[in-house]
């Protein structure tokens, strides 16, 4: 499929814009599909492309503008598709290229876009590039990856012989020994995910060619996985070993490395500069700072449109360690999100999210998934979507899906969980019960249980045996029960999404945080010369009194709330448990 044909399809769908159009996504909402867990069309227990196609009307009714598709490329599935063995083919468990072409066509026919996950910090060790690279030290693709000899004076393959002391994000060392060539290769994630060497211009050219191939096929952009890891300090120095840790922290030497801006600007020139239309580039950037994000998202610098930052989803962890959870303080959440709103207020743009495939379920983490599940899920939607930025809805979030109560370690599927459990029980002296308790709140499998379509067997996700257990609360929390219910969580999401589409204050208004020191109330204003919005959210299970000390809100127009009735904006006002009230003047 050629570029002209792809652009024609966009134009026919009414979604073509001018060159470098960066305004459209300010009023857009993105929906993330994790294909393995979304909908299974053939009964093999794994979600697939045809399953997604069959549910597009559900997404269209919800009102979302963009579908972000987690990886469906050919893969050994060591990390559920984030280990790619062929960037230009579809893994048979998900379908075919023809299925993907149909998905693109049907999305465009409904006025929606498709953003693909781009995973180019690393490949699978089964990718032909790596197979060539590891075949010999003299192979032309040897330096397409990071190879290093053992530590001086040590024999390869022995503990401590790794070139650096870096630990992998998935436990264990970040280096794997290759006995055939006598050297180690770097893998910041699984040993089956070797890191590409972006210092090599041939690597970058190959990546850009692949990206162009997908855009020519009709894809509308990319969400770029850990893209701020691609530039590394080429000296690869040892990292600091923290107390209680087995390995050093290499992140200062690869997070936002010395050539990261150069690489992203080159990518923009090579892939997008010659194209007209509306595209989206989102950089997932663990460890990115506010100041760095301003540079990455400044339109004048031509790098990415927005970044995913992780500051606010690390606030309920001791020292950023997800296996050491702690209670979240609302004042810290407001301080974090408020700082990002302020910093990117004039230049750049925010991504807004509570959850994704790597995070626990939003209502279980930030709300109350028991007595107040529905109202807290609605409150969380309203507060997030009315910030300045582009909101992301993770599949099932619009239904108020909750965390899963896993039992034994055998119930889990995530490589991060399985590797941590093995390391913690084998090398760190923790008991199985201790580790399972620490895993429960924030593990990634919480988000990966199948979407709950109805109350039938396996929640309507599959007619076979699901690849991961279905949450038993699907009997009561499911799409069939919510789509036509005007008071459901799903219907509330439709309302807040429509508000972003139709209310310029939401898409373009300035942001001002109110009551920053209140431990229970999240309050802010959105402002334009034409008017103001006041957003009030109660982050507690108790009644709270709110006073923003502005009597003129008494005459304001109610806009949206998550209880059937709510009164005027007269101050002070009382918010019921997990209540949301929004006013316009």
Active site residues: 225, 284
Task: Kindly state the DSSP code that residue 556 receives in the 8-state scheme.
Answer: P
The DSSP call for residue 159 is: T
Concatenate the DSSP letters of all residues of 492-518 into one string.
Answer: HHHHHHHHHHH-HHHHH-EEEEE-TT-
Query: In this structure, are strands 351-352 and 175-178 parallel, antiparallel, or unpaired?
Result: unpaired
Distance, CA of 108 to CA of 67 (rounded, Å): 11
Angle between helices 290-297 and 260-271 (to 10 degrees): 20
Q: What is the DSSP string of 312-347?
A: GGGTTEETTEEEEE-PPPHHHHHHHHHHHHHHTSSS
Helices (runs of H) and strands (runs of E) counted in the chain: 16, 22
User: Which segments of 529-579 are extended strands (E)?
Assistant: 531-538, 544-546, 557-561, 573-575
Give percent helix, percent strand, percent coil of the chain, each to the nearest 5.
35, 20, 50
Of 233, 387, 390, 375, which Cα lies nearest the Cα of 304?
Answer: 390
- Which DSSP symbol is given to 166? B
Burial class (CB in 10 A: 0-12, 13-18, 19+), 370: exposed
């Amino acid at each position: 499929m050629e570029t002209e044909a792809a652009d024609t399809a966009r134009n026919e769908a009414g979604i073509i814009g001018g060159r470098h159009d960066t305004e459209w996504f300010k009023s857009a909402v993105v929906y993330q599909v994790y294909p393995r867990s979304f909908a299974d069309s053939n009964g093999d227990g794994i979600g697939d492309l045809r399953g997604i196609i069959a549910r597009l009307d559900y997404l269209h009714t919800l009102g979302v503008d963009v579908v972000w598709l987690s990886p469906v490329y050919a893969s050994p599935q060591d990390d559920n598709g984030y280990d790619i063995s062929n960037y230009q083919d579809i893994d048979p468990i998900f379908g075919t290229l023809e299925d993907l072409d149909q998905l693109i066509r049907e999305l465009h026919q409904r006025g929606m876009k498709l953003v693909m996950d781009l995973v180019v910090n690393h490949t699978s060790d089964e990718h032909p590039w790596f197979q060539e690279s590891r075949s010999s030290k003299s192979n032309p693709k040897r330096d397409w990856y990071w190879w290093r000899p053992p530590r001086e004076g040590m024999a390869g393959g022995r503990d401590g012989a790794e070139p650096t002391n870096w630990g992998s994000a998935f436990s264990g060392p970040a280096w794997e020994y290759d006995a055939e060539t006598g050297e180690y290769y770097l893998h910041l994630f699984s040993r089956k995910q070797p890191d590409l060497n972006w210092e090599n211009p041939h690597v970058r050219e190959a990546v850009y060619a692949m990206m162009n191939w997908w855009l020519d096929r009709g894809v509308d952009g990319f969400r770029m996985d850990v893209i701020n890891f691609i530039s590394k300090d080429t000296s690869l120095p040892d990292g600091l070993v923290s107390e209680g840790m087995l390995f050093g922290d290499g992140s200062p030497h690869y997070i936002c490395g010395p050539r990261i801006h150069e690489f992203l600007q080159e990518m923009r020139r090579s892939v997008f500069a010659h194209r007209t239309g509306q595209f989206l580039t989102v950089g997932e950037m663990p460890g990115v700072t506010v100041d760095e994000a301003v540079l990455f998202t400044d339109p004048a610098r031509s790098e990415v449109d927005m970044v995913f930052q992780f500051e606010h989803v690390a606030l309920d962890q001791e020292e950023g360690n997800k296996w050491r959870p702690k209670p979240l303080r609302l004042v810290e959440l407001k301080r974090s999100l408020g700082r990002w709103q302020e910093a990117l207020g004039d230049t750049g743009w925010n991504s807004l999210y509570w959850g994704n495939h790597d995070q626990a379920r939003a209502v279980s983490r930030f709300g109350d998934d028991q007595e107040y599940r529905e109202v807290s899920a609605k409150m969380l939607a309203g507060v997030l979507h009315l910030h300045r930025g582009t909101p992301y809805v993770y599949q099932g979030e619009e239904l108020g899906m909750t965390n899963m109560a896993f039992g034994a370690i055998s119930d889990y599927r995530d490589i991060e969980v399985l590797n941590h459990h093995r390391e913690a029980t084998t090398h760190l002296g923790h008991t199985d019960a201790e580790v399972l308790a620490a895993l429960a709140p924030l593990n990634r499998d919480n988000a990966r249980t199948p979407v709950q379509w109805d109350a039938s067997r396996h929640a309507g996700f599959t007619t076979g045996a699901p690849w991961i257990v279905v949450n038993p609360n699907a009997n009561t929390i499911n799409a069939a029960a919510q789509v036509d219910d005007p008071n459901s969580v799903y219907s509330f999401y439709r309302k807040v999404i429509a508000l972003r589409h139709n209310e310029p204050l939401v898409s373009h208004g300035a942001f001002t945080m109110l009551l920053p020191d209140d431990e229970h109330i999240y309050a802010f204003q959105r402002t334009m010369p034409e008017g103001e919005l006041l957003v009030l959210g109660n982050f507690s299970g108790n009644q709270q009194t709110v006073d923003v000390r502005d009597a003129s809100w008494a005459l304001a127009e109610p806009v949206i709330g998550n209880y059937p009735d709510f009164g005027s904006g007269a101050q002070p006002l009382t918010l019921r448990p997990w209540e949301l009230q929004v006013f316009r003047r």
